[in-house]
Structure 1
Amino acid sequence: MKIFITKTEIKSYLSSLKEQNKSIGFVPTMGALHQGHLSLIKKAQQKNDLVVVSVFVNPTQFDKKEDLINYPKTIENDTKLLKSVSCDVLFLPSVEEIYDNNVTSERFDFDGLEHQMEGEFREGHFDGVGTIVKTLFEIITPNKAYFGEKDFQQLQIIKKMVAKHRLDVKVKGCPIFREEDGLAMSSRNTRLTEAHRNAAPFIYETLKKVRKKFGTNNALELTEWVKNQFKKQPLLDIEYFMIADEKTLKPTKYQESDKKYRAFIAVFAGNIRLIDNISLHKD
């Protein structure tokens, strides 16, 4: 596995491969890698000649400074994991390398996708996401880029950014990778206390019940039902639950037959914030 820390070096290396018509798959990460990330890399390996993974903890997408400070940094373990799945290239830039001396976000218009759910609770978050992903796409110039559906809103926003800025990359969403007990894999899971970790699978269990009830109960009834379920679970504090149109991410009250819906949830387990979602279509 080749490791690059500067834009100039990685651009030079990848451009020589592109001249040989090699296709590049790209998996951007913030490190603290787990099996969910590795599943994205394996998907990328199936469809591309080589795979680039970036590890960069992006300061502009954190709305709370303490979250940035506390974000787990495990680069030695990350490197081992990447080698174990035969990753081709690791891009490991510093904040200075990415932002020079100007750590600020570009402003984006995502046609309203950014104002729903996470956008309502995390001010400026998606401008930070758009800034780093666009920057990385311009450095790596991949043919395809892979993102997990756990951050479904982020996935839709990146697709929107690519379309609006006419970037030459195909964005691929990949299924949520879960622990055996159903908890969506996340770098934050390692920070859960034992009690909160034991309680956390309740999130996915609730989402699966919502999926069964959807169609019989409308979105308003299900939202009320979910809030009542979480009142019985003292270790988990629900921040939001929403059933939304997959395309626009706008919340719905009543189901329409020509639209696809997804249930979204954010929950605090102590001071650790967990998000999850589920398609409400029984494909």
Structure 2
Amino acid sequence: MPPDFDNFEPTFIKNFRNLLTSAPAKGRQKEQEVQDYIEEHTLLFLPQFKTHKGIYGQRIVSKFKLGTEKVSDFTYVSIDSDTTNIVFVELESPLKTIFTNAADKAALNAKFTAAVQQVQGWRILIEKNRAEVIKRLSPLLPSFSNPIQFKYALIYGRSDEKSYENRREVFSDLKRNSGILLNTYDNLIDAFKDDQTKELNVMAHSGEGYRYKHLHLNPQNDFAQLLPDKLHLTKKQIAALRRDGYEMDEWLKGKYLKFNSKYATEESVLKLAPPNIRAQRSG
């Protein structure tokens, strides 16, 4: 990243800054405009909780249903050696304020408090429906049976509201004690600047499985884990993946692509290997 980032920042960051301060288009909610933009530019997706392995599968789920009414704006998985962590993320409008208008006071805005309480309420709902939530996410979970933990995150408001020390202290205390991963929209830009973000694919629930809402990069292990009954592709996506070397015809026949994330058999991999490697294997 250039040292003078403000003078060299990419156009998509400049456009994001403008989006954060502009009024929503007629008939649209601001938080949905922001979510749509993040889905199109996933380098802005801040993994508020992640292990050293990053986001599992390099994919996030858009609008995952927690129940009949509640929806998590983003959901993703991050694993470590002994735990599978499922993170549910709520987005609120960047135009909403964290604190009341009294500039030197650290009184939390009622709408911010309500948003925190809403995410805290997810815990009750998700634990009540724990088995069903895990079942619907199971196609995207690792095959090994680590214990599963749920984590909750909220992105709300702007960082300039914390310019006073007393406000920073109140916000930090809430982050420590609320059980929620709290960040502002400026933290998304900061994470990109600090090289903490990566391109991700965006998925959405589709019947009994999932579909790619945005296919930003070649999938790593999706076709080694999911067959067509659980991963629903468009004809355009299949054609693009076929051009990139994925054995989509084999996958469509019900064969997992377990070799190099693209191939159904080791023989397919060997066909692309240098002649000396092929000779060693055949010998």
Alignment TM-score, normalising by the size of structure 2: 0.23
